[in-house]
Structure 1
Amino acid sequence: MYAIFMNGGKQYKVKKGQIIKLEKLNNSVQTQLKFETVLMISDNKEVKIGQPILLDSYILADIVCHGRNKKINIIKFNRRKHYKKHQGHRQSFTKVLITEIHTYQGVS
């Protein structure tokens, strides 16, 4: 079983027990999160697709840790113009562990 959900303007495909990196969230470690913008859920038998989201479906996750990615270097350079600019950036992230994918089991 896997699901696709949206968080921070990005879509993520997850399975139960998977650890993923999200954009930085302002919650503390060991906090449980509930993602309710589930776009699709698939088990071995059927696929449920939302229009645009699935109602009564959610994904539960626990925050594992916070951190920062590797530094990327940005260099702007114009030849023969005495112009060179260096800049660096480190993006913050939050690692979460997917604990449960819950879908509505109503009558179709």
Structure 2
Amino acid sequence: MYAVIKTGGQQFRVAEGTTLKVEKLEVEPGKKVTFKEVLMVADGDNVQIGAPTVAKATVEAKVISQGKGKKVHILKFRRRKHSMKQQGHRQLFTEIEITKIKA
């Protein structure tokens, strides 16, 4: 059984036991979180596609950790002006483990 959920403006295909990194959620590590925006649920040949979401379908997950991604370096160089600007960014994420899919 697997499902497609939407969180943080992205869609993820998940199954029970899957671990993934999603946009930062305001939940402490060790707590549970429930995703109600389930776009699709598939169990063998039985496939339910939502319009836009599947009614009464939820996905439960356990928060493993919070963290920061790899640093992205941004460099803006102005030719012939002897000028440049450097900037860095580290995206915050939450690592979760899918525990249950209810359809």
1:23-70 Cα offsets, whole Å, 9 max, x none, are 111111111111011000111122110000011100000000011011
Q: Which has the higher strand share?
A: 2
What is aligned with 1:60? 60
Gaps of 5+ in 1: 104-108
Distance in 2 (alpha carbons) for counterparts of 1:83 and 1:42: 55
- Say what the alpha-carbon RMSD is for the aligned residues: 0.8
Distance in 1 (alpha carbons) for counterparts of 2:10 and 2:74: 24
- For residues 1-108 of structure 1, what are the structure 2 equivalents within 5 Å? 1-103=1-103
1:66-104 Cα offsets, whole Å, 9 max, x none, are 11011110000121121211000001100000001110x
TM-score by length of 1: 0.92
Query: Once the 2 structures are TM-superposed, how far is the Cα of residue 18 of structure 1 from its aligned partner?
Result: 0.4
Gaps of 5+ in 2: none
Identical-pair percentage: 42
Q: Match for 1:11: what amino acid?
A: Q
